[in-house]
């Protein structure tokens, strides 16, 4: 995707030296566009934990590059196993992280130590390139769902939660990929952007990237979606996912479940867009079994924004002395979903639906 006419991915290898990893610092958006250079696996782990990079597919790709950086320093089997465990522990909910690290381990355990650096960079690059291709395919499949709501002289209203755009993946995004495809195809599309407290990924990141691509959008308070649905202002909801079970339960940013409940009550289609690396074939009951990240209370008790004097500042919005809890994800049961948009097409949110698209992966192991 382009920022001011320049094409970017959200993670890439520095072309100047061929080994350092570059990322866009997402904690600085939308106030400033800063590119960071990561030189070690420890720096990648910090970037994931602090959410300089975030979004399920992106943290998987970043971790893969983290393994490659570690191999440059020490390509022994011991170092490989250590860095894999260290990176896997950075965030618990998005299964793409574990998926990417396991893929790196499979490739590198079967490679001689002397050849591991080149193999690690090649595998990380393959993970990143495949993510881009898969998300582009999600866009093509999801475009048909948006097209189905298009009427002459009337825009299609899509509601989304959090940021599942290109900043959350290597490129294109998951939930926003169909939106970009529709916009580029000339369909008049407008996005209701949930602000997505506590970290405001919608207000800061989704609004930023939609704006840069010229897609009409309106930021709304997280609590506004139900009201808009009751008044016919939402044609469909499309969200991303951090982990989907074999039975079709979907974990995504906290608040997604409440939107799905409102959508069901108002007969608004509710789709989850995800690449197959987001499916955890080992789990069935998402509410019981998907680990939910608990993040720092300060993300809730404070808000960061641009002050009237232009400086970026953080202010407290909760009385000191009040407790604050910050579960970062929730699980929407399969029964509330219209279905999944994947790189292989759309399917029902169920065992049978997922198995129809991914028969080779259907046996839990």
With contact defined as beta carbons under 8 Å apart, do 327 and 245 qualify? no
Task: Return the number of the residue (122 or 324) whose C-beta is nearest ligand MRU.
Answer: 324
CB of 168 to ligand MRU, least distance (A): 4
User: How buried is residue 99: exposed, middle or buried, by Cβ count under 10 Å (0-12/13-18/19+)?
Assistant: buried
Task: Return the number of the residue (12 or 172) whose C-beta is nearest ligand MRU.
Answer: 172
In the chain, DSSP finds a helix count (H) and a strand count (E) of: 13, 18
145 contacts ligand MRU (rule: CB under 6 A): no
Taking alpha carbons only, the member of 242, 250, 287 closest to residue 60 is: 242
- Over the window 87 to 116, marking each residue x when it contacts ligand MRU by CB under 6 A and - when it does not, the resulting string is -------x----------------------
Residues in 42-81 that interact with ligand MRU by CB under 6 A: 54-57
Which region, judged by CB under 6 A, interacts with ligand MRU, from 30-38, 82-90, 109-117, 164-172?
Answer: 164-172
Taking alpha carbons only, the member of 1, 4, 7, 124 closest to residue 64 is: 124
Separation of alpha carbons 304 and 318, rounded Å: 13
249 contacts ligand MRU (rule: CB under 6 A): no
Taking alpha carbons only, the member of 142, 145, 108 closest to residue 124 is: 108
Angle CA(145)–CA(147)–CA(151) in degrees, nearest 5?
130
Residue from 168, 170, 219, 341 in contact with ligand MRU (CB under 6 A): 168
With contact defined as beta carbons under 8 Å apart, do 326 and 299 qualify? yes
Taking alpha carbons only, the member of 184, 204, 200, 179 closest to residue 24 is: 204
CB of 81 to ligand MRU, least distance (A): 26
In the set 131, 242, 249, 330, the catalytic residue is 242
- Over the window 262 to 301, marking each residue x when it contacts ligand MRU by CB under 6 A and - when it does not, the resulting string is ----------------------------------------
Separation of alpha carbons 90 and 47, rounded Å: 9
Task: Return the number of the residue (94 or 127) whose C-beta is nearest ligand MRU.
Answer: 94
Which region, judged by CB under 6 A, interacts with ligand MRU, from 142-150, 218-226, 239-247, 337-345?
Answer: 239-247
120 contacts ligand MRU (rule: CB under 6 A): no
CB of 88 to ligand MRU, least distance (A): 15
Is 242 tagged catalytic? yes
With contact defined as beta carbons under 8 Å apart, do 1 and 170 qualify? no
Cβ count near 285 (within 10 Å): 13
Residue from 10, 111, 174, 204 in contact with ligand MRU (CB under 6 A): 174
201 contacts ligand MRU (rule: CB under 6 A): yes
Residue from 242, 280, 330, 343 in contact with ligand MRU (CB under 6 A): 242
248 contacts ligand MRU (rule: CB under 6 A): no
Which region, judged by CB under 6 A, interacts with ligand MRU, from 16-24, 110-118, 237-245, 305-313?
Answer: 237-245
CB of 92 to ligand MRU, least distance (A): 11
With contact defined as beta carbons under 8 Å apart, do 26 and 36 qualify? no
Q: In what order do the strands lie in the sheet with 216-220?
A: 216-220, 189-194, 156-160, 236-239, 270-273, 339-342, 345-347
202 contacts ligand MRU (rule: CB under 6 A): no
Residues contributing to the site for ligand MRU (CB under 6 A)? 54-57, 94, 162, 164, 168-169, 173-174, 201, 240-242, 252-253, 328
Q: Kindly list the catalytic residues.
A: 242
């Amino acid at each position: 995707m382009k920022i001011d006419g320049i094409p970017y991915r959200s993670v890439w290898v520095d072309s100047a030296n061929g080994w350092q990893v570059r990322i866009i610092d997402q904690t600085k958006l939308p106030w400033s566009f800063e590119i960071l250079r990561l030189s070690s696996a420890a720096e990648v782990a910090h970037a994931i934990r602090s959410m300089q990079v975030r979004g399920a597919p992106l943290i998987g790709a970043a971790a893969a590059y983290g393994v490659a950086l570690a191999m440059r320093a020490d390509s022994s089997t011991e170092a490989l196993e250590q860095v894999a465990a260290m990176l896997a522990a950075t965030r618990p909910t998005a299964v793409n992280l574990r998926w990417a690290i396991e893929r790196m381990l499979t490739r590198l355990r079967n490679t001689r130590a002397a050849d591991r650096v080149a193999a690690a960079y090649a595998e990380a690059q393959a993970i990143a390139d495949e993510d881009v291709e898969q998300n582009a395919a999600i866009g093509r499949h999801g475009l048909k769902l948006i097209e189905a709501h298009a009427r002459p002289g009337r825009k299609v209203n899509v509601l989304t939660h959090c940021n599942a755009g290109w900043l959350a993946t290597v490129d294109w995004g998951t939930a926003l990929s169909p939106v970009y495809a529709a916009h580029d195809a000339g369909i008049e599309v407008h996005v209701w952007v949930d602000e997505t407290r506590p970290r405001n990924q919608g207000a800061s990141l989704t609004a930023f990237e939609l704006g840069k691509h010229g897609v009409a959008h309106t930021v709304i308070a997280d609590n506004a979606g139900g009201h808009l649905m009751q008044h016919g202002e939402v044609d469909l909801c499309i969200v991303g996912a951090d982990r989907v079970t074999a039975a079709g339960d979907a974990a995504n940013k906290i608040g997604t479940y409440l939107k799905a409940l409102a959508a069901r009550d108002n007969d608004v289609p509710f789709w989850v867009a995800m690449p197959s690396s987001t499916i955890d074939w080992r789990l069935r009951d998402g509410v019981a079994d998907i680990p939910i990240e608990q993040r720092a209370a300060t993300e809730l008790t404070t808000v960061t924004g641009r002050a009237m004097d232009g400086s970026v500042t953080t202010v407290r919005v909760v009385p000191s002395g009040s407790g604050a809890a910050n579960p970062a994800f929730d699980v929407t049961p399969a029964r509330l979903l219209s279905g999944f948009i994947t790189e292989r097409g759309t399917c029902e949110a169920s065992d049978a639906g997922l198995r129809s698209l991914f028969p080779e992966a259907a046996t839990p192991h």
